[in-house]
Chain A
């Protein structure tokens, strides 16, 4: 291998490092913030439509948690999540400081519809967190991406087949139903 090849290969590797470790991470943080802002706006709209009160503890707890995740999106990573969840246990901390305890108390004040609404928002928020941590890790992304792409293609392909052969499938369903 001559000098020119080594130089160009090393330079390409350097740009790849910058892309993966700096530009891509910053892009993922922005994407996550955008999705979380969208979720927070939806929660606000639900409060405007009086599905939940602006002064309810559950609304404020969800909003504060979303705000925290938006603010610290740049530090949320799978490594940090694993290290903190495995090593940092809130031993001795007053129970009213724990998210689970505050969430449980906040849920007690709500009626069934509101509980469902808040639970739905919590699930969506946690889903966004997991998605962000997975996609912002280059190693995990390399493992997950091929499966995600094949799944998306499969889903789209099957959907297009179902639309294209809807009449034929209906005939088959009728035959199966009446047999």
Chain B
């Protein structure tokens, strides 16, 4: 769409607004990243605390045996189902991405024949987020 030419003052206001928005966006991103990684760090902390509590008391072979003994039949089945489910989901996802890659170009081409001024969403041709848009 065509836009009217802006005055220097208008551009300065717009620039200041965009800067403020970017700053707040980044603050939220930092907060969200901290929460995410805090969860992961906590899990590792639990594991390391458990290991350090046993340091010098047990051999590593005993620790492995302890883990294997704790993994009952139901736990083993849950692990297999969990890992299998995630693997299945990821393979379906890659199949979907391949499909998008195959079909999206054709759709865009046909739409551009009807509407030459067609605008695009700007995401990657396989439907994933562009590297440059990652916050």
Contacts and interface: CB of A to CB of B under 8 A. Distances in A.
Interface of A: 2-11, 13-15, 17-19, 21-23, 27, 29-30, 33, 37, 40, 44, 47-48, 54-55, 57, 60-61, 63-64, 66-67, 70-75, 77, 79-80, 83-84, 87-88, 90-94, 96-97
Contacts, number: 134
B14 A97 contact: yes
Contact of A29 (B36, B58, B82, B129): B129
Contact of B123 (A6, A7, A71, A96): A71
A75 B25 contact: yes
A22 B33 CA distance: 11
Given A14-B40, A64-B1, A84-B24, A77 B32 contact: yes
Could you tell me the dominant secondary structure of chain A's interface residues?
A: helix
Contacts of B127: 30, 33
Contacts of B51: 3
A88 B20 contact: yes
A112 to B, nearest CB: 24
A10 B44 CA distance: 7
Contacts of A79: 28, 31-32
A54 B116 CA distance: 10
Contact of B46 (A6, A22, A60, A63): A6
Interface in B19-60: 20-21, 24-25, 27-29, 31-32, 35-36, 39-40, 42-44, 46-47, 50-51, 53-54, 58
